[in-house]
Chains A and B, each alone.
Chain A
Amino acid sequence: MPARASGGRPADLVTDLYRVHALGLIRVALLMVGDRATAEDVVQEAFSGLHRRQNHLRDPGKALPYLRASVMNGCRSVLRSRQRARLALVQHEVPVWSAESAAIAGEERREVLAAVARLSGRHREVLVLRYYSGLNDQEIARVLGISRSAVAAYASRALAVLARELREEP
């Protein structure tokens, strides 16, 4: 159902947003799901959702928070279905931070990314939005639809776990 563009502006809005933000959003999704193909799918689905709802978008300024939130929701769905697949012993794509994929230089970096990947969903989301997207806790709270103190609590718990695993000061 290729949606008909209603007037020039809204279609341009989504296209413009895609040009400006697709790369950043795909990179964020990559950090969550580990492989590029899935990351691109998740982001395309988010843009597709925005495209379907653009007539309801009262304020274009809200589009980016909406996209971020729907990318995070998409990643969460992927990770959840992988969790089920793992129980059924189905293999999925090799993450970009595995030694096997050899995409990232430096054992130390791979160790950090693998430790992040072992954290549960919300903890990873908070770390990626804070340390990659550079959002503050208030913005993260809005993207994830949780309270700001929950963000702070997830972040401090995630950092504490990483510190232990990576033998660093928390």
Chain B
Amino acid sequence: MNRLENRLLDAFSAAADTITPESLPGLHERSRRPSWQRLTAPLAAAAAVIIAAVIVPLILTAHTGTVTSPSPATLYVVIDNNPGVVIPVNMAADTTGRPIPIPCPPYYAAAVAPNGKTAYVVCPTGVVPINTSIGTAGPLIPIRVDDPNEPGFSFENIVITPDGRTAYVLESANPSTLTPINLGTGKVGKSIVLGNVSLDPDTMAITPDGKTIYIVGYMGAVMVISTTTNEVERTINLGTGPTPSIAITPDGETVYVASSNLGKVVPISTATNKAGKPIPVGTGPDQIAITPDGKTAYVVNNNSNTVTPINTATNKAGKPIPVGSGPDQIAITPDGKTAYVTNQSSNNVTPIDTSTNTAGHPIPVGFSPASIVINPNGQTVYVTGPEQETVRPITIATNRARAPITVGNYPEYMMFGSTP
């Protein structure tokens, strides 16, 4: 505990102590009706107002949305609420479609099958398939849960094999596991045990040939899993501390893992599964995006407000590109010409010209943007964040934000699928 941490402890407890136990009714006298019960009626009234103000307009826009011209694909926005909901956004009209209710609170993880017809949303006790063709959620596919005291909260991530046959769901628990689901039959296969809780696997990526899954653990270990044998092939110990992200080059030859403590990115050759020399980048590197031609990896440096380009042929870092404050996530256009970075603290998005590696004018997008995705047609960037109630479309041709699309509380995750 250093001096700063001690100051935080002291200040927090001083502020907390301004509320004394004696000043709170209902804590000592058991007979007294606790105040949460007294509040139930006004809360119900408030809920009615919320339903009228938020949900009804949502349903209304839903109809205009589905009636207008169908687009080739739909943006699905996962709303982190209990129970959750997925909002389809008509990308041609910037309108929302009929909300798809989810029978559980979705976790921050979802994936779409390669044919775009089924999306899978991760929940605390399993995975919910969404049929994007008809816009409905199927029943939960339950997955065994290890810790009965904390059912769920522990599924961290999901990947789908490029052939669309299998989904793998990552669980951080004791022991941590990776569980295959046969997407044809919906059958849950035998979980692959990754190791004890200290591994704390967190995020993963699958090679383009679908044969190998790379999982990064909190403590800087990378696990290599063969999808042919469903076994752990190898554990590569990086000894780096937190490794928040992983990316694989389109040719499947190199895996890049960011180490937030070291301020470095570690390249791993998929041929040898050996870690190469760590590449120094900025402070607190996190998300990594690789251009479609595989030549450059862009690393977002959370703490130094920059993005570092890495030449994937030489594994040398280029000059850091200053972006906005609190940069978070990054996405690259399908033509590879522009990378877009969300700046959580400066409430905007920075476009980076990848031919010159220079930042363009920041595009204001509202409070605390986080998630960012780009329409596969290369025309629009979509930005949202849990602190917003909207999705902001940005026209790539002009780098201007269009009117926000209201989707409701806590939008967490966006993905593309076919149109209902």
Contact = CB atoms under 8 A, between A and B. Distances in A.
A38 interface: no
Contacts of B44: 1
Interface in A95-145: 96-97, 103-106, 108-110, 112-113, 116, 120-122, 127-128, 131-132, 138, 142, 145
A149 B244 CA distance: 5
Contact of B40 (A3, A15, A65, A132): A3
A170 B4 CA distance: 7
A30 B11 contact: no
Given A18-B34, A109-B11, A132-B16, A148 B303 contact: no
Interface string A21-47: 011001110110000100110001101
Contact of A23 (B3, B27, B367): B27
B153 A142 contact: yes
Interface stretch (B143-151, B231-239, B316-324, B355-363): B143-151
B10 A109 contact: yes
Contacts of B271: none
Contacts of A31: 12, 15-16
Contacts of B171: none
Where chain A touches its partner, the secondary structure class is helix
A94 B31 CA distance: 34
A9 B44 CA distance: 24
A106 B410 contact: no
Contacts of A96: 15, 18
A2 B16 CA distance: 31
A162 B3 CA distance: 12
B400 to A, nearest CB: 20
Contacts of B261: 156
Given A112-B7, A153-B286, A132 B12 contact: yes
B19 A168 contact: no
B34 A47 contact: yes
Contact of A113 (B4, B11, B344): B11
Contacts of A85: none
Q: Which of B37, B150, B283, B368 has the largest count of A CB atoms less than 10 A from its CB?
A: B37
A169 B3 contact: yes
B345 interface: yes
Contacts of B410: 73, 76
A31 B14 CA distance: 10
Contacts of B179: none
Contacts of A55: none
Contact of A156 (B14, B153, B303): B303
Q: Which of B7, B12, B13 has the largest count of A CB atoms less than 10 A from its CB?
A: B12
Nearest to A12: B30
Nearest to A112: B11
B12 A169 contact: no
A2 B13 contact: no
Contact of A2 (B19, B40, B344): B40
Contacts of B302: 153, 157
A131 B7 CA distance: 10
B368 A121 contact: yes
B7 A168 contact: yes
B108 A83 contact: no
Q: Which of B11, B203, B283 has the largest count of A CB atoms less than 10 A from its CB?
A: B11
A13 interface: no
Nearest to A159: B4
B14 A26 contact: no
B214 interface: no
A68 B106 CA distance: 17
A147 B284 contact: no
A149 B243 contact: yes
B284 A120 contact: no
Contacts of B43: 45, 48
6 contacts: A36-B19, A48-B36, A113-B15, A132-B16, A142-B154, A145-B105
Interface of B: 2-5, 7-16, 18-19, 21, 24, 26-28, 30, 34-37, 39-41, 43-44, 80, 105, 107-108, 148-151, 153-154, 156, 172, 200, 202-203, 218, 242-244, 260-261, 283-284, 286, 302-303, 326, 344-345, 367-368, 386-387, 389, 409-410
Given A51-B36, A157-B284, 11 more contacts: A15-B30, A26-B24, A28-B16, A51-B37, A65-B150, A108-B11, A112-B8, A145-B105, A150-B244, A153-B260, A156-B261
